[in-house]
Amino acid sequence: MTPLLSNYISGTWQDGTGAGTPLLDPVLGTELARVDATGLDLEAGFAFARNEGGAALRALTYAQRAALLAAAVKVLQANRDAYYEIATANSGTVKNDTAVDVDGGIFTLSTYAKLGETLGERRHMQDGEAARLGKDPLFQSQHVQVPTRGVALFINAFNFPSWGLWEKAAPALLSGVPVIVKPATATAWLTQRMVKDVVDAGIFPPGALSIVCGSSAGLMDALQPFDVMSFTGSAETAAVIRSHPAITQRSVRVNIEADSLNSAVLLPDAAPGTEAFELLIKEVAREITVKSGQKCTAIRRIFVPEAAYSATAAALSARLAKTTVGNPRNESVRMGALVNREQLSSVRQGIAHLQHQTETLFDGASVALLDADATVACCVGPTLLGTRDAQGSDSADRVHDTEVFGPVATLLPYRDAAHALALVRRGQGSLVTSLYGSDPAALAAMALELADSHGRVHVISPDVAQLHTGHGNVMPQSLHGGPGRAGGGEELGGLRALGFYHRRCAVQASTSVLQAM
């Protein structure tokens, strides 16, 4: 009998009353555990978090809350090996891909612990300078930011069960706002184990950190006006969330990260054979294969000058051909599995959908699996599609409209810089685009041109070849999010992330009162 993973809510570990949903090994097909939230008193759990967890957190200063984050980091680091084992079994990831999730989550939490130290022994933040409201400077207006007196609900995606938790929880807890996380069911084991380790260590006040595994039914119904929620997932689910009464009637603040057709652009000066060209080949191949392409920031569209199309197709295909796919427990495997059979089916259907308007440059379906049964394992080889001319780049609307959430990307030629910009913007807003070239002026101009439609522009030139952090790596110091199709949300960005969990208020008072604050 596989274990049932408990929920932690109202300050106690509680099992659901149902049979539970099984979590499976995506390579071996074996059942690992079950999750269930049936019968939980969610309203009581949310109230406990607000009243107990929230009050206890707000009583602490930023520096004191930062110390709690630092203590949690030590607990997570001590259990790192167990997290790697869980990720291998439940997510089907190779060690390097697990590191992106597990070590990335711990690093983000550590970063916010350090940022919190800089805020010192305060419980609110000043927002700008005081402004006089009349001729006499005695009476002024000072904006302040104070922690919201609600709870932060996180409904997370399946691809980053560690990082997805801590990149949201770190700024929330540092702000003084209690957290309730609902991990995606398919990979909930890692999130649940991390929360359990931190809870069992007794670091945070009761009610500060809670987890609900299984169905999300009823979670949004429990939200109240001063709560906030953050969602990562599909645009379809995001639309349902935005229409919920908690958002439309109770004005719960919501942050959405949805679909994103991220791009990579090779500038005209970066001809085949140049260092900038080789940097694009290396980065694109990595983005197609890391976590089997199951990254919201992965490169989906590759734009190159028409003259460079054939050379780019050949170079990328040669590099992808070296990628071994299969059981992540085998040290020779470089790319593991998709998360489950549902995703495998979705990716296969998505590839077929795009192939109606593209040619197949590298066929992942023909890649043999290593140490894995193709009839059981949720594995698919990396796939590179393409349109041979610029006219095809314009007419292949499916490429610009459909995100296939797996190891799939499409190569698209462009005529000139203006055409490249127009093609990139057909993504209707993305999390990130990366630019490759050697001309600083040209790179700077294109970066600013694309800034309005992206949350992040990652510029890779030969001088930063050994320094850049990667197109798809989300660093806590930089903004994560994107306009339009990407959801219109913003996360991270250093201390900017705390703004989502604070309420801004203008205090109008005498100078002496403002100084006393």
**Which residue is listed with tokens 């991270």?**
492
Q: Judge whether 296 counts as a catalytic residue.
A: yes
Q: How many angstroms separate the CA atoms of 32 and 90, rounded?
A: 7
**Domains (range + CATH), the chain:** 4-258+493-516 (3.40.605.10), 262-468 (3.40.309.10)
| Nearest CA among 83, 139, 142 for reference residue 109 | 83
Residue 20: exposure state from Cβ atoms within 10 A (0-12, 13-18, ≥19): buried
pLDDT value, residue 295: 96
For residue 10, count other CB atoms closer than 10 A to its CB: 20
- Write out the E strands in 63-148: 125-132, 139-147
Q: Of the residues 167, 213, 257, 490, which is catalytic?
A: 257
- Rounded CA gap, 501 and 507, in Å? 19
- The H-assigned helical ranges of 188-243 are 188-200, 235-242
Residues 304-338 pLDDT 10s: 999 999 999 999 999 999 999 999 999 999 999 99
In this predicted model, what pLDDT tens digit does every residue of 171-206 receive, in sequence order?
Answer: 999 999 999 999 999 999 999 999 999 999 999 999
Q: Which SS3 state, helix, strand or coil, does residue 302 take? A: strand
pLDDT, mean of residues 145-151? 98
Q: Is 236 among the residues known to form the active site?
A: no
Predicted local distance difference test score (pLDDT) of residue 142: 96
Average pLDDT (379-386) is 98
Provide mean pLDDT across the span 268-295: 97
On whether the CB atoms of residues 319 and 328 are closer than 8 A, the answer is no
What are 38's two structure tokens? Answer: 């049936």
H-run or E-run covering 172: helix 163-175
Q: What is the pLDDT of residue 175?
A: 98
Q: What is the pLDDT of residue 135?
A: 86
Q: Which of 213, 296, 378, 379 is catalytic?
A: 296
Q: Specify the DSSP element, H or E, that contains 444.
A: helix 440-450
What does R_g of the chain's alpha carbons equal in angstroms?
Answer: 24
* Cβ count near 146 (within 10 Å): 15
Model confidence, pTM: 0.96
Strands 408-414, 383-386: parallel, antiparallel or unpaired by DSSP? parallel
pLDDT score of 1 more than 80 = no
pLDDT, tens digit, 9 for 90 and up, residues 100-140? 999 999 999 999 999 999 999 999 999 999 999 988 889 99
Query: Taking all residues of the chain, what is their mean pLDDT, rounded to a whole number?
Result: 97
So what's the pLDDT on residue 493?
97
Q: Confirm if 311 and 413 have CB atoms less than 8 A apart.
A: no
Rounded CA separation 45/34 (Å): 21
What's the pLDDT at 131?
94
Band (2; pLDDT cuts 50, 70, 90):
confident
